[in-house]
Structure 1
């Protein structure tokens, strides 16, 4: 598997808001429960949004360079055995976020992704 340049984190604006002041993002409640931060690749994003965020607004999509995460980034099988990126070993530094964009997901799970998703 070729490692993509960017991976993506979906969060709510409310959960992400404290990160601007602290300089790091600890993730969504599911991340704390699972012991690692969930990410998706560009090709996995639409299905992740459909399955877990349908009908939600007030979301942020964070783009993170995989190279900046080093060996804390682990690729593990998840949905259908597909490898998903998971961040272990603490919070995500704000400096590692390349960009953030507000998104909303329709009730049917569809979402218009920002042009920067690649």
Structure 2
């Protein structure tokens, strides 16, 4: 599969992190699910189709502004798309996970299942 992506990075801001958006073909949820169920996505509530890929945990120091986009972000995006294609087939995300739920949908389900309305 061939993908067109956009990497957006406000490198002048030392706290900015690169964002990767898939332009073509657009990423899609699995049949019977919604964008909130897509794993490892920086979910955009107002425009879910424009959500950026979640490639790293900024709090874990996996990215800093001294790193090169071509050396880190592009390979990570390629890896994310590899796992996305497999997930589309069987619904299992085989990529590495940051701590916590895998998707916004999972967070919402955990809140609904908790007796006091907090995350379980």
Q: Scaled by the length of structure 1, what TM-score is found?
A: 0.27
Q: Which has the larger radius of gyration?
A: 2
The structure that is strand-richer by fraction is 1
Tell me which of the two structures has the higher relative contact order, counting C-alpha pairs closer than 8 angstroms and 6 or more residues apart: 1
**TM-score, normalised with respect to structure 2:** 0.26
